[in-house]
Structure 1
Amino acid sequence: MLSHQDNATETVRLLRQQAALARFGSYAFREPVLLKILNEAARTCAEGLDVPFCKICRYRPAENDLLIEAGYGWRDGVIGHVVSAADHSTPQGRAFITEQPVILHDLQDQRECGDVVLPAFYAQHGIISTIDVIIKGLSGEPYGVLEIDSAVQHDYDQHDVAFLTGFANILAEAVATSQRVQALRVAFARAEALVVEKDMLAEELKHRVRNNLQLISGMLDSHLRAVAGPAQKVSVMAMIRRVMTLAEVYEQLLGTGLGRSIDLGEYINAVCKNLPTLQNSFSKDILLSCRTVTLPVDLDTVTAIGMIVAETVSNSYEHAFPNGSGLIDIELRRAGAQPGAVLTISDDGPGFTEVAGSKRHGIGLVRRLMQQLDGSTSLDVTAGTRWTFRFPTPSAPETPAEDGG
């Protein structure tokens, strides 16, 4: 039976061990470097059990052995070099295979040790007593084994085993957390590398597309200066205009990093900025107003709407203002409660009468493009000319901000 003084000493020892567990737990989940966690665990265990040596062995599946990964108190040449078989021939191997604590009070007692094979460094350090416990978390494969060693024979009790087992459990979770963090870092690094590579490829593609479209536009511009007839000039201008709208599609697409959707409102604003420069033969007194909302759409939709805007606006430039001045107004809005969008293009000219089935002024192209989108087209010429295009769009969160043009 323990004396009062012995009880007090035991209580102090247990409190010190519990405090060591708490301190290590706090440290382990703050420290990102796994090797530092392992070495701190070895030091804390050795001091908590008042022994000079502690080591942490990592299991290596390919070799089926246990490598001393970290430790405390050992001479050079032990940590990172010495391995033990992960089988019943070693104390570490027994603890690893059985997942039960292995206690050897006296390594010199053949009856206790049986057929245990010890590496030479045990004798070199004068090791007499050891305890091995497995390092295994609540899930996943075990990491390895935690062992304390002493050159003095110890009669380890249940409190010592409980302390070491509790420490190994905390260490297992700390190791698992560190491994997850490291895996995430590797994944993030790979993702960042892929993003950089994607951006480089997108930028290269952007330059190539832009250069090719500029080349085509330059060729058409040279052809425009060479042709003589008005009808031919109108035809070439239409081709230049369509190349420009395609060029702007790719500018918007590549600017978003080859995303699946493009902001139709932003795209229409960009097209509106470029359209007046293609109307050199017409009056500069024609104003172009553009009001849009943010509206993500797919590539087919943005391409078709871009063509519709270019054709309809150019038609107004060419035919709506016999006096050389006026206003062209473009508005893109959501269709209200119903999914979809509404695009209106109007001018304050005298209006015109559309001949049924006519493809003049690109009207036939506009109607075909709207049919491709499963949309509808209506024309009002009571006060100028007002085109209304209704078309479906992918559902997207409502964005209140609008862009002015």
Structure 2
Amino acid sequence: MTNPDDTRPQGEESPERGDPNLTRASRQQIRQHEILAELSMSALQGAGFEQLLADTARLSAEGLRTEFSKVLEYQPAENRLLVRAGVGWEPGIVGVATIDADLGSPAGFALQTGKPVISNRLQDEQRFRTPDILRRHGVHRAMNVILQGEGRPYGVLEVDSATDERFVEHDVAFLQSAANLLGMALERRQRELNLEAALERHQFLIKEMNHRVKNSLGIVAGLLRLQARGLEDAGFKAELEEAARRVGAVARAHDQLFQTPEVEWLDVGRYIEAICRDLDGSFAGCDIQVEAEPRIVFSTDRAISAALIVNELIANAVKHAHPGAEAGPVRVRVASADENEILISVRDEGDGLPAGFQLGRTRGLGMRIVSALVEQIKGVLTILEHRPGVEFVVTAPREG
């Protein structure tokens, strides 16, 4: 019958089957070496924690030809050992049953002293109490070794048998080797958990920082608006209101970051949609219509720059597209230009550009801000006249 765990090329016999002169003990030792190699590969390949516990219990029993085995996890609060994994036990044992972890039990002695324990005749054992779980299953002999974890013992690896054979020193070496391999995997898992906890803490702190920055910027924007309302000078009042909108646009970025687990990237379409909702309530008579393709992501800094560009272009349309009249509709679009670039456009239906308009020579602060921000995101600004209206189109690489 073919061994399903045998990975040798077809036609090549294992030493166990190929050499009739090998003793049973020699064949068992060969299998033990194969098992340790298998456990090593399983640990290196990152097998799941529960699977690794189950594999260690199963292969330990196989390597020592025992009917029972178990991985015991130390529970310090109760000073007991929980059966975390095992083979051969009746239902209701694994994951439920516990045994004493004091020096009076074989497993407890191995845990407390770090020394392996062999009990070849439990019925005659004078050093330790025989745990009830072993008596109920008719176990005659047991062997326990310590299972080290990250900085402290994890528990004990134990094999048990109802036969009258004997465990020998070589068996201890095999079982301790299996326990050491599992222990290394446990240490790696604990380090991974520590790193995950540190990352979660880091993410929490960044989210909290974004929340506080958003609130602080909201206060600044509110103060600017409050000061603007108390001014009689229309020009100065308008400048303060524009400054408040710019601060509000940056605050909205931190609000978006607070609501998402990702802190280095923003969905630029979703972000610009939120900015436009804020602006729609700021300009009387202005109808801002947004068409944003989802899942276009920018780094946070570039997304903020892109949103500020939109903010300035909408403000420019409101102020200049319909001189002497209420602002009309403004269309904002965020879309993929191709696989390497995105497109952001702001279009109005106003009277068009003034005669002789040249982007590089404009004296207005808003357009100078737009030009600087477009350069910052390594983009290109194109102006299209539609009659009626003007469209400002920014194309920029997805990666800055």
**Normalising TM by the smaller chain, what interval?**
0.5 to 0.7
Query: How many residue pairs align between the two structures?
Result: 292
**How high is the TM-score relative to the length of structure 1?**
0.58
RMSD over aligned Cα, in angstroms?
A: 4.6
- The whole-number CA distance in structure 1 between the counterparts of 2:178 and 2:352 is 77
Paired position in structure 1 for 2:53: none
* Contact 1:249 1:267 (C-alpha < 8 Å) held by counterparts: yes
Q: Which runs of 5+ in 2 are unaligned?
A: 1-23, 29-60, 75-80, 90-104, 131-142, 148-154
* Contact 1:351 1:385 (C-alpha < 8 Å) held by counterparts: yes
- The whole-number CA distance in structure 1 between the counterparts of 2:390 and 2:304 is 23
Cα distance change, pair 313–70 in 1 and its aligned pair in 2 (3 A): farther
SS at 2:293 equivalent:
strand
Paired position in structure 1 for 2:333: 331
Cα distance change, pair 167–70 in 1 and its aligned pair in 2 (3 A): closer
* Contact 1:56 1:69 (C-alpha < 8 Å) held by counterparts: no
Paired position in structure 2 for 1:33: 73
Task: Determine if the alignment matches structure 1 residue 378 to structure 2 residue 369.
Answer: no
Per-residue CA deviations over 1:284-326 (Å, capped at 9, x if unaligned) read: 5x24223233122213211211110100011112222355363
Higher RCO (CA < 8 A, seq sep 6+): 1
* 2:115 partner amino acid: L
Out of 351, 364, 373, the position equivalent to 2:368 is 364
Matches within 5 A, 1:70-109: 74-75=125-126
**How high is the TM-score relative to the length of structure 2?**
0.59
Per-residue CA deviations over 1:110-134 (Å, capped at 9, x if unaligned) read: xxxxxxxxxxxxxxxxxxxxxx999
Cα distance change, pair 19–263 in 1 and its aligned pair in 2 (3 A): closer
Paired position in structure 2 for 1:318: 319
SS at 1:313 equivalent:
helix
Matches within 5 A, 1:5-404: 21=65, 23-24=67-68, 27-28=69-70, 31=71, 33=73, 67=115, 74-75=125-126, 165=170, 169=174, 172-174=177-179, 176-177=181-182, 180-181=185-186, 183-185=188-190, 187-188=192-193, 190-191=194-195, 193-257=197-261, 259-279=263-283, 282-284=284-286, 286-322=287-323, 323-324=325-326, 326-337=328-339, 339-353=340-354, 354-356=357-359, 357-360=361-364, 362-383=366-387, 384-394=389-399
* Residue 371 of structure 1: how far off its partner (Å): 1.3
* Residue 271 of structure 1: how far off its partner (Å): 0.9
- The whole-number CA distance in structure 2 between the counterparts of 1:238 and 1:38 is 64
* 1:260 partner amino acid: E
* Residue 203 of structure 1: how far off its partner (Å): 4.6
Q: Which runs of 5+ in 1 are unaligned?
A: 1-9, 44-52, 80-131, 137-142, 149-155, 396-405
* Contact 2:210 2:255 (C-alpha < 8 Å) held by counterparts: yes
* Contact 1:249 1:303 (C-alpha < 8 Å) held by counterparts: yes
Cα distance change, pair 179–23 in 1 and its aligned pair in 2 (3 A): farther
